[in-house]
A and B are shown apart, each in its own frame.
Chain A
Amino acid sequence: MSDYIVEMKHITKRFPGIVANDDVSIGIKKGEIFALLGENGAGKSTLMSMLSGLYEPDEGDIYIRGEKVQISSPNHAANLNIGMVHQHFKLVPDYTITENIILGVEPISKFVGLFPYVDIRNANRKIEELSKNFGLEVDPTKKIADLTVSMQQRVEILKVLYREAEILIFDEPTAVLTPQEIDFLLGIIEGLRNSGKTIILITHKLEEIKKVADRCAVLNKGKLVDVLDVKTTSVNHMAQLMVGREVSFKSEKVPAQFKEEILKVEHLTVKNEDGFEIVKDVSFTIHSGEIFAIAGVADNGQVEIADAIAGLTKVSGGKIFLEGKDITNNSIRKRTETGISYIPEDRQSFGLFLDFDLSTNLALKQYYKKPFSSRGILNKQEFEQFGHKLIDQFDIRSGQSIKTQVRSMSGGNQQKAIIAREIDLQSPLMIFVQPTRGVDIGAIENIHNMMIQQRDQGKAILLISLELDEIMNVADTIGVIYNGQLQKIASSESLTTNEVGEYMMGAKHE
């Protein structure tokens, strides 16, 4: 018996065209938080999929509690007390929390000793107890459709705990969460460890690892780079191992040169579907050569401001001027043509057609104009040329160049494609909503540099972000929003991170 609860020895896994894992060996001790660090496509998820029974390794052996095993299915993994908290939740929206958790392992009772039925009431009780034990309080009778993303994640965690998992794998658990929710989740993860569970945390966020993990394995392009003791390793060193080169967290930029006014928002008010004022009397201006960032906790109205400017949401009060022209009631296409580029928050639903090829996606904002089409007939050749041009210019990586189905591309490259398309419009105003959400460090650096480059070329840039670090890093001017109102507008040099944080919580008023 070794002191490892999980051992993976010389694991190799090949997919057509790539080696996802190349001779990787790791050992995980009972009761530790073991982090797997790597960029998108480094092979973290593949490695863990072999532990959770989705794939079987081509070469190498897996040992659980010292015994050699072949994990053939998720059920088998569950029998070995291994559970995976998926990044993409697998929940039935119409079912209650309880129904989702017990699906597949339903507790059965019998009516009059004859007719078996699923004993929901009993399960409700059990789950309530379980959720209290781990500090994950939920109301088991609530429907999934009525829950926030972070609550849905709790359900996913409870699902694994209900199946009595001892080894819990978290796949990028914080990608969809706000900073407060992330803190809460990390607390939960520590609590789970303290109650004796073994945690494997897949992530590319270094701060999280630094905060909770005990040890950390770094993967790069399918190979194991190193296994580190987190306490004694600096964040910079980890980042360097992960990316394979120096990374700067601080973007290089020259002082901003503000020129003429591009966007002017006056007393903007936006109501949501229920008639509730979600943006209240917001006014600000953005100049050519300025990055204006709106900081705030999620759901405080910042996305609605961006949507109102881009024309996705109706304005219920106030005016929006672009280069002096009133665009408050213009259609979206009119706005695009007047000069707005928009990088949406949810790139997969609003930014791309996932099942269309790359060249089509790149031409989306111009397809109806010459030379892309004439008299309503599309000119495929132009699409292709244009696609090749942007792919070269912005270094968009994909399997089959312009013919690649966008769905198959990595998140970072999908985002690059959108940014390339929007930059090419040469609009005076560019709106970035959460541009680095879910993309890895190398790509984040790249996106920040592109934004700064655009600023230096005289664009006005509106950045909406939940990542305070990102805002402090790239913004020239910061507006802090709380509860639909701008609490403070000031140049980024005059504010500290802590001050912005206080305005974000509504603790400080002008």
Chain B
Amino acid sequence: MDTVIIDGLSFALPLFIMAIGGIYSEKSGITNLALEGFQGFGAFVGALSAVLIANAFGTDVQNLFYVSLLFSMIGGMSFSIIHAVLCIKFKANQVISGVVINILALALTAFLTTQINALVFGAASDKFQLGVSERFTIEGLANIPVIGAVFTNVYPFQVIIIVIAIFAWYLLYKTKFGMRLRASGENPHSVDAAGVNVLKVRFSAVLISGLLSGLAGMCFAYSISANFSSNIYMGYGFLAIAALIFGNWRILPTLAACLLFGFAKSGGTFIAQSMALPSSFTDLFMVLPYVLTLLLLIFFSKSNRAPRALGEVYDKGKR
């Protein structure tokens, strides 16, 4: 039972921080289907920096976790510039831009990974080996029945994510930047009339979504996959989008949705293992979060309300 909670949390929290990135972008009025690509590219840059540094200085890749986390954020943010420029400067269709960025990220990182492996390390491999980040257990708290699992085998990134999430909430709801950002997604004309540059606000929002997605991608790479490969594009970005939609573009309800997805995933694996089913069945149980998504969609889509100006190109002249 404990493993369900432990694995569920370690999956839900990266999903959550990526969803927050999505909230930032969409609250500012930019539809963001590119989370998947951002997290993949971010993880690629993070993983690449880790293996390069490890190679140059002979450090153990596992100890470079924090360095790679930093680089993944930079990588995700840089990649998100494409989406921002296409959607904001060139007024491209935001859905198409998002889809194209996802495809581009997959192709580009898969290609670069094999090439770099061949050229730099002389190995024929399509992945960067990273290992699994070290975990810690808070003695005492971990002994509490059931809840204790929350404090057992915790990845350090889970703590980092919670701290960032709190800061993200503060930034979005308490500061003037957040106020202007949310207004840009509701009625950009009012923001413009107040003398604030809508395009700048939206640009920063998309960059923030890239940064947080990159972070999330790196967390996945250092935990469930233990390497960087094209396997990172498992649809987590879309799951994050689903979570933020069920969460009604609000941070706390989105956390609840992420936890639900996380426990559905770990619960599915747990059931498959405890029933000692062949591995082909495990795959079947792995789709649980996605089936859950479909079911939730039926119940939640009625009461949901997207930001009013979401996906709308901002054009000063049009009233």
Q: Is A472 an interface residue (CB 8 A)?
A: no
A91 and B179 within 8 A (CB): no
In the complex, A106→B179 CA distance in Å?
A: 9
Chain B residues near A73 (CB-CB < 8 A): 195
B195 and A104 within 8 A (CB): yes
Binds B, one of A95-103, A238-246, A386-394: A95-103
Binds A, one of B83-91, B184-192, B233-241: B184-192
Can you show 12 pairs from A to B with CB atoms below 8 A apart? A73-B195, A78-B195, A90-B190, A90-B194, A92-B190, A94-B308, A104-B180, A104-B194, A115-B174, A117-B174, A118-B174, A118-B179
Q: Is B193 an interface residue (CB 8 A)?
A: yes
- Other A-B pairs, 13, CB within 8 Å; known A74-B193, A103-B183: A78-B195, A90-B193, A91-B190, A92-B190, A93-B187, A94-B182, A95-B183, A95-B186, A103-B179, A103-B191, A103-B196, A104-B196, A108-B176
Interface residues on B, range: 20 to 34
Q: Is B175 an interface residue (CB 8 A)?
A: yes
Chain A residues near B179 (CB-CB < 8 A): 99, 103, 106, 118
Q: Chain A residue with minimal CB distance to B170?
A: A115
CB distance from B315 to the nearest CB of A (A): 12
In the complex, A104→B187 CA distance in Å?
A: 14
Q: Chain A residue with minimal CB distance to B319?
A: A88
User: Which chain B residues (136-188) contact chain A, with CB distance < 8 Å?
Assistant: 170, 174-176, 179-180, 182-183, 186-187
Chain A residues near B319 (CB-CB < 8 A): 88
Q: Chain A residue with minimal CB distance to B190?
A: A90
A92 and B186 within 8 A (CB): yes
The listed residue (A86, A90, A91, A103) touching B180 by CB distance below 8 A is A103
User: Which chain B residues (117-137) contact chain A, with CB distance < 8 Å?
Assistant: none
Q: Is A313 an interface residue (CB 8 A)?
A: no
A86 and B193 within 8 A (CB): yes
Q: Is A25 an interface residue (CB 8 A)?
A: no
In the complex, A305→B190 CA distance in Å?
A: 35
Chain A residues near B195 (CB-CB < 8 A): 73-75, 78, 104
CB distance from A30 to the nearest CB of B (A): 25
Chain A residues near B191 (CB-CB < 8 A): 103-104
Q: Chain B residue with minimal CB distance to A91?
A: B190
CB distance from A438 to the nearest CB of B (A): 14
A118 and B175 within 8 A (CB): yes
CB distance from B137 to the nearest CB of A (A): 32
Q: Is A377 an interface residue (CB 8 A)?
A: no
B190 and A106 within 8 A (CB): no
B194 and A105 within 8 A (CB): yes
In the complex, A91→B192 CA distance in Å?
A: 11
Chain A residues near B194 (CB-CB < 8 A): 90, 103-105
Chain B residues near A196 (CB-CB < 8 A): none
The listed residue (B174, B187, B196) touching A91 by CB distance below 8 A is B187
Q: Is A135 an interface residue (CB 8 A)?
A: no
Chain B residues near A60 (CB-CB < 8 A): none
B196 and A93 within 8 A (CB): no
In the complex, A105→B180 CA distance in Å?
A: 10
Q: Is A399 an interface residue (CB 8 A)?
A: no
In the complex, A116→B190 CA distance in Å?
A: 23
Chain B residues near A93 (CB-CB < 8 A): 186-187, 308
In the complex, A39→B170 CA distance in Å?
A: 50
In the complex, A115→B189 CA distance in Å?
A: 29
In the complex, A129→B308 CA distance in Å?
A: 31
In the complex, A115→B308 CA distance in Å?
A: 30
In the complex, A108→B187 CA distance in Å?
A: 23
Q: Chain A residue with minimal CB distance to B316?
A: A54
Q: Chain B residue with minimal CB distance to A156?
A: B193
Q: Chain B residue with minimal CB distance to A86?
A: B193
Chain A residues near B308 (CB-CB < 8 A): 93-94
Q: Which 3 pairs, one residue from A and one from B, show the smallest C-beta to C-beta distance?
A: A104-B194, A75-B195, A106-B176
Q: Chain A residue with minimal CB distance to B178?
A: A118
User: Which chain B residues (177-233) contact chain A, with CB distance < 8 Å?
Assistant: 179-180, 182-183, 186-187, 189-196
- With contacts A93-B308, A103-B196 taken as known, whether A118 is within 8 angstroms of B176 at the C-beta atoms is yes
In the complex, A93→B170 CA distance in Å?
A: 22
Q: Chain A residue with minimal CB distance to B305?
A: A94
In the complex, A111→B235 CA distance in Å?
A: 39
CB distance from B149 to the nearest CB of A (A): 33
Chain B residues near A95 (CB-CB < 8 A): 182-183, 186
* Cβ proximity bits A250-290 to B, threshold 8 Å, 1 near / 0 not: 00000000000000000000000000000000000000000
In the complex, A93→B305 CA distance in Å?
A: 13
CB distance from A357 to the nearest CB of B (A): 17
In the complex, A99→B182 CA distance in Å?
A: 11
User: Which chain B residues (35-81) contact chain A, with CB distance < 8 Å?
Assistant: none
Chain B residues near A108 (CB-CB < 8 A): 176
Chain B residues near A105 (CB-CB < 8 A): 194
CB distance from A28 to the nearest CB of B (A): 23
In the complex, A93→B190 CA distance in Å?
A: 10
In the complex, A115→B174 CA distance in Å?
A: 10
A94 and B196 within 8 A (CB): no
In the complex, A92→B307 CA distance in Å?
A: 11
B189 and A90 within 8 A (CB): yes
Chain B residues near A94 (CB-CB < 8 A): 182, 186, 308
CB distance from A91 to the nearest CB of B (A): 6
Q: Chain A residue with minimal CB distance to B186?
A: A92
Chain B CB within 10 A, most for which of A73, A94, A108:
A94
In the complex, A104→B190 CA distance in Å?
A: 10
In the complex, A105→B175 CA distance in Å?
A: 12
Q: Chain A residue with minimal CB distance to B167?
A: A115
In the complex, A93→B185 CA distance in Å?
A: 11
Chain A residues near B170 (CB-CB < 8 A): 115, 117
In the complex, A105→B179 CA distance in Å?
A: 11
Chain A residues near B175 (CB-CB < 8 A): 116-118
User: Which chain A residues (107-135) contact chain B, with CB distance < 8 Å?
Assistant: 108, 115-118
In the complex, A95→B176 CA distance in Å?
A: 13
CB distance from B276 to the nearest CB of A (A): 52
The listed residue (A75, A100, A115, A118) touching B190 by CB distance below 8 A is A100
Chain B CB within 10 A, most for which of A74, A75, A91, A104:
A104
Q: Chain A residue with minimal CB distance to B180?
A: A103
Q: Chain A residue with minimal CB distance to B193?
A: A90
In the complex, A75→B194 CA distance in Å?
A: 8
CB distance from B39 to the nearest CB of A (A): 28
In the complex, A91→B194 CA distance in Å?
A: 10
Chain B residues near A99 (CB-CB < 8 A): 179, 183
CB distance from B81 to the nearest CB of A (A): 26
User: Which chain A residues (299-326) contact chain B, with CB distance < 8 Å?
Assistant: none
In the complex, A108→B176 CA distance in Å?
A: 8
CB distance from A158 to the nearest CB of B (A): 13
CB distance from A69 to the nearest CB of B (A): 17
